[in-house]
Amino acid sequence: MIEKYNKLVRDKIPEFIKQKGDSPITETLDDDTKYLKAVHRKLSEEIDIYHKDRNVDHLADILEVIYTLAKYYGKSPEYLEQVRIEKHKQCGGYDNKTFLGEVEKD
């Protein structure tokens, strides 16, 4: 029986599959366009998983994909954290639970 996945997986997943006695068929996505498309799909997948079960541990999986994207663009997790801190200083966070419904224009 063959199970199709056709998705980006973490580096050690093929080894785990082999340890179970199964044979993974993999390829290396050397083409940047294919790779970025796969990473973006993975981000959506991880967000969907989090939305389904609201398990906070899945946020770490989302971060892993975000860090992968940042690395691709030559940025570090520390850089992302600096940008996050700056934006927090400028615009605040979400602690006040403010929901903007409408803006009445003059």
Mean model confidence pLDDT for the chain: 97
Predicted confidence band of residue 2 (pLDDT cuts 50, 70, 90): very high
Evaluate whether residue 6 is within a structural domain: no
The per-residue pLDDT for range 28-37, each reduced to its tens digit, is: 999 999 999 9
Evaluate whether residue 46 is within a structural domain: yes
Q: What is the pLDDT of residue 57?
A: 97
Predicted confidence band of residue 67 (pLDDT cuts 50, 70, 90): very high
Query: DSSP string of 33-76?
Result: HHHHHHHHHHHHHHHHHHHHH--TTHHHHHHHHHHHHHHHTT--
Q: What is the pLDDT of residue 80?
A: 98
Task: Give the range of the structural domain holding residue 34, as residue numbers without chain letter.
Answer: 29-90
As a whole number of angstroms, the distance between CA 37 and CA 8 comes to 10
Question: Could you give the number of structural domains in the chain?
Answer: 1
Evaluate whether residue 58 is within a structural domain: yes
Q: Please state the pTM of the whole predicted model.
A: 0.89
Evaluate whether residue 18 is within a structural domain: no
Question: Which two structure tokens, joined as six digits, stand for 85?
Answer: 């801190």
Evaluate whether residue 74 is within a structural domain: yes
